[in-house]
Amino acid sequence: MFRRLSRWAFTVPLALTLAAALSGCGTADPAPGAAATPAASGSEATTGGGATTLTVLAAASLTGTFTELGKTFEAAHPGTTVRFSFGSSATLAQQIVAGAPADVFAAASPATMKTVTDASLAASPVTFVRNSLQIAVPADNPAKVDDLKDLTDSKVKVALCAEQVPCGAAAIKALDAAGLKVTPVTLEQDVKATLTKVELGEVDAALVYKTDVIASGGKVQGIDFPEAEKAINDYPIAVLSGAPAPEAAKQFVDLVLSRQGKDVLAKAGFQTP
């Protein structure tokens, strides 16, 4: 349905250092390449002075909620610093397979988590939230988009996530369920980049997660459509095998799965699985 991006755009060569690998993840935080290298089994990764560094790779749509939970975790664990890399789940999964040292992976789809579990780099992932799509349009909706069918109009400029990443795969499912074909003017590597095209007025509409519309703080408006129910994404989380800080990793996952974590995620618009 959509033009395909070349395979190399989503693959990180094994020869890259972690700093280089994580520099393109779309996170405003420093790439976790400077974090400690994998420690010996049973030990915690540390920075100077014995402080623990926990490295979490997470889907771009989790940026706001996980940043908040990271601050909560640091407050409850003095001496621990949580470092995040947010981006396309597909890209992050490839980085993990390529050897990027990290402790926790939170993906926006079971398919991207499967890339990691198939490589025996994580075990027993747990689905912690679900997410659905909305049509995002600028606050003044200049193209007068009302429903999914409006996106098929050649005069309406549409942005979609690339089909290799979870938000793009969900868009394909939703459009297929509606029997519609959309020709996007751009395919972006993660949902945040896709939404930014709407916020900047570069496109008239985009298919993004409801949570990202909420996180925009009114910069865009979201339009519900019934086919979104056919394309709901489950989000799995797992402690990575060989995590440099395994105990802290388990504790962070426990926080995400706790009532406190669920409340933060629900407030952002995520659904309970």
- 212, 173: one domain: yes
- 25, 158: one domain: no
Residue 147 has pLDDT above 80, yes or no: yes
Residue 5 has a pLDDT of: 35
Helix/strand/coil for 64: helix
Q: Which single residue is written with the structure tokens 């388990």?
A: 250
In a domain, 80, yes or no: yes
CATH of the domain at 98: 3.40.190.10
Sheet of 205-209, strand order: 186-188, 158-161, 205-209, 133-138, 220-223
CA pair distance 106, 108, nearest whole angstrom:
7
Residue 136 has pLDDT above 50, yes or no: yes
Q: How far is CA 96 from CA 9, 51, 239, in A?
A: 16, 24, 12
In a domain, 256, yes or no: yes
Rg, C-alpha atoms of the chain:
19
Instruction: Note the pLDDT tens digit of each residue in 206-227.
Output: 999 999 999 999 999 999 999 9
- 244, 121: one domain: yes
Do 240 and 105 touch, CB atoms closer than 8 A?
A: yes
Q: What is the pTM of this model?
A: 0.81
Residue 51 has a pLDDT of: 87
- 125, 145: one domain: no
- 169, 141: one domain: yes
- 44, 140: one domain: no
In a domain, 156, yes or no: yes
Residue 42 has pLDDT above 90, yes or no: no
In a domain, 2, yes or no: no
Among residues 222, 218, 217, the alpha carbon closest in space to that of 207 is found at: 222
- 13, 126: one domain: yes
Q: Which has more pLDDT, 8 or 256?
A: 256
Instruction: Note the pLDDT tens digit of each residue in 54-94.
Output: 999 999 999 999 999 999 999 999 999 999 999 999 999 99
- 74, 184: one domain: no
In a domain, 172, yes or no: yes
In a domain, 272, yes or no: no
- Residue range 28-43: mean pLDDT, rounded: 35
- Residue range 29-42: mean pLDDT, rounded: 34
- 243, 121: one domain: yes
Mean pLDDT of the chain, nearest integer: 86
CATH of the domain at 183: 3.40.190.120
Among residues 144, 139, 243, the alpha carbon closest in space to that of 201 is found at: 139
For residue 82, list its beta bridge partners: 54
Instruction: Identify the weakest region by mean pLDDT among 43-52, 132-141, 172-181.
Output: 43-52
- Residue range 176-191: mean pLDDT, rounded: 97
Residue 24 has a pLDDT of: 35
Number of structural domains the chain divides into: 2
Residue 20 has pLDDT above 50, yes or no: no
- 123, 249: one domain: yes
Residue 44 has a pLDDT of: 57
In a domain, 171, yes or no: yes
- Residue range 35-39: mean pLDDT, rounded: 33
Q: Which domain holds residue 180?
A: 133-230
- 52, 148: one domain: no
Among residues 174, 215, 175, 224, the alpha carbon closest in space to that of 191 is found at: 215
- 37, 99: one domain: yes
Q: Where are the alpha helices (DSSP H) in 23-165?
A: 63-76, 89-97, 110-118
In a domain, 273, yes or no: no
Instruction: Identify the weakest region by mean pLDDT among 24-33, 56-65, 107-116, 192-201.
Output: 24-33
Among residues 203, 196, 187, 202, the alpha carbon closest in space to that of 219 is found at: 196
